[in-house]
Chain A
């Protein structure tokens, strides 16, 4: 369970103080998929970054598995990200100097999953994502859809408890995007991960169990997720 309470974050920019998040509170149970909806600048990415400990909120708390991650120091935050969190970004997720297999190896190495376990896990992931035989391919040789699938495979390789995806379908066509989101929801259910997807793609809203809408850093009143 992730519980976010009274989360606020301001940026100082040339325009003065900009409120990126203002008094955000909600809870999400493990195994649930959440879509963070909102226009550009609504605070979706900042919220994802706060949950992923890439940014520290000015006030409020994020309780994850009983720990307020806002109180962690830099080292603890890095360890938390290493073990509990994964990110899938809009594009350019893969490290260009590493092959597909080496990219998948990275989170496993970070979490001390080595040897036969590591090899087995990489094979399993490639199989699951329909990319068997791509082990030695370089990221530059992959299509956008394949890249995002590998990025997602890498994100769940070490089975984190939170998966944060920031506009993961933005660089994909609608069919590939829909397939990726379906795969994300399906695997997160299976693995019991909390999935947060930030998007402004209205078509994806119908696929979510929970939609959290943001506007100007504030939570909009709950609305039933569109069906269909």
Chain B
């Protein structure tokens, strides 16, 4: 028998038994739409963690061992912002206390444009460009008993006084390596002496970080160029874990949905048992019956998965615009140190995995009804129904 005719019968069965079709479709549509949204939400959560972790201070790529003359080589395709930071080890001293620290000379305007560090100010403000000001962590300020407006003396490790700076602001990030042993001032306020240069590179959205890193490593063979995945392996693992959890959720949801589809489809098929018996009596072979049932469930799942995907895309589009604020649950989480807003984002994987899995599981769900019908003797069917 022609495949086109079997396909036609399958379509007509679905259309003319529209109530059963609608029930089965609703199950798949709901599952696919929910999973497209959940997949996009997982991507959005990972985006937020990366954005928060890299956007606070470090950038997507950090570099060290770079001379100021090589700074121009850092401008490669995909790099949106380059921040130069001059490191100068000093002793911060007041009349009563001493505190060793690495003083970072930064360009305040560029820093405030590219990072969210200034948002972590708990008192005062970020140092102004060209000023003789210093920005201290809350822990350091407490140990040194300093307030905004107080002056702090910078000394060498040999206790030689270099210069005095005024405390412009106090910050607290909640991230220990930023809250301990660091202080910031405009580059122009750095005391003279041996300095090291580090760079923080911020990439444009969707920029291929691996390509940028390899280009930089080619251009600056003696420098150390490190992407965030290497200097924040914990975040990388967290993101991988998130994807694994999402894959498990998708598989489990569809395993459950496919059992539901299989049971419902079996009931649907058994409701038409007499008709299957008549078709077998007319000379339908096992392959014809299997093809008919596979066509039915394929058409149904492809249709429902398409509608479910479109519905999922619609929901993602809405939430991508308005965002989801989970700030109340992330205030003490270092991966959400800047903002608790999530913006679901669709990727190829998030978009196509749920419908693809739906179709595959749908086909698996057809096995039980197919085996049931094929194994039944047409005479028994016609006698019993």
Contacts and interface: CB of A to CB of B under 8 A. Distances in A.
A106 interface: yes
Given A52-B281, A79-B283, A81-B281, A97 B16 contact: yes
B278 A95 contact: yes
A211 B283 CA distance: 28
Contacts of A98: 9, 12
A218 to B, nearest CB: 21
Interface string A77-100: 011111101110100110111100
A179 interface: no
Contact of B13 (A55, A78, A82, A97): A97
A40 interface: no
Contacts of B285: 75, 78-79
B283 A78 contact: yes
B5 A109 contact: yes
Given A52-B281, A78-B283, A89-B278, 7 more contacts: A55-B379, A74-B286, A85-B283, A96-B16, A105-B5, A109-B2, A110-B283
A92 B9 CA distance: 18
B283 A54 contact: no
B259 to A, nearest CB: 26
A48 to B, nearest CB: 9
B338 to A, nearest CB: 59
B270 to A, nearest CB: 15
B2 A89 contact: no
Contacts of A161: none
Contact of A81 (B5, B16, B282, B286): B282
A54 B365 CA distance: 28
Interface residues of A, number: 32
Given A45-B383, A55-B377, A102-B12, A78 B275 contact: no
Interface residues of B, number: 25
A102 B12 CA distance: 10
A27 interface: no
Interface string B3-23: 001000100110111000000
Contact of B282 (A45, A55, A110): A110
Contacts of A110: 1, 282-284
A114 interface: yes
Given A54-B281, A110-B282, A97 B382 contact: no
A80 to B, nearest CB: 8
A217 interface: no
A176 interface: no
A109 B275 contact: no
B362 interface: no
B11 to A, nearest CB: 10
B375 to A, nearest CB: 11
B377 A54 contact: yes
Contacts of B379: 49, 54-55
Interface of B: 1-2, 5, 9, 12-13, 15-17, 274-275, 278-286, 377-379, 382-383
B278 A78 contact: no
Contacts of A112: 1
Nearest to A90: B382
Interface of A: 45, 49, 52, 54-55, 74-75, 78-83, 85-87, 89, 92-93, 95-98, 102, 105-107, 109-110, 112, 114, 138
- Please indicate which of the listed interface residues A79, A95, A109 has the most CB atoms of chain B within 10 Å of its own CB: A95
Given A45-B383, A55-B379, A96-B275, A78 B17 contact: no
A49 B279 CA distance: 15
A214 B13 CA distance: 40
Contacts of A52: 281
A107 B284 CA distance: 10
A105 B2 CA distance: 12
Contacts of B12: 97-98, 102
Contacts of A107: 282-283
A45 B5 CA distance: 31
Contacts of B17: 97
Contact of B284 (A78, A80, A89, A93): A78
Contacts of B280: 78
A54 B382 contact: yes
A199 B286 CA distance: 31
B1 A95 contact: no
B2 A82 contact: no
A82 B2 CA distance: 14
30 contacts: A45-B383, A49-B379, A54-B378, A74-B286, A75-B286, A78-B283, A78-B284, A78-B285, A79-B283, A79-B285, A80-B283, A81-B282, A81-B283, A82-B283, A85-B283, A86-B282, A87-B281, A89-B278, A96-B16, A96-B275, A97-B15, A97-B17, A98-B12, A105-B5, A106-B9, A106-B282, A107-B283, A109-B2, A110-B282, A110-B283
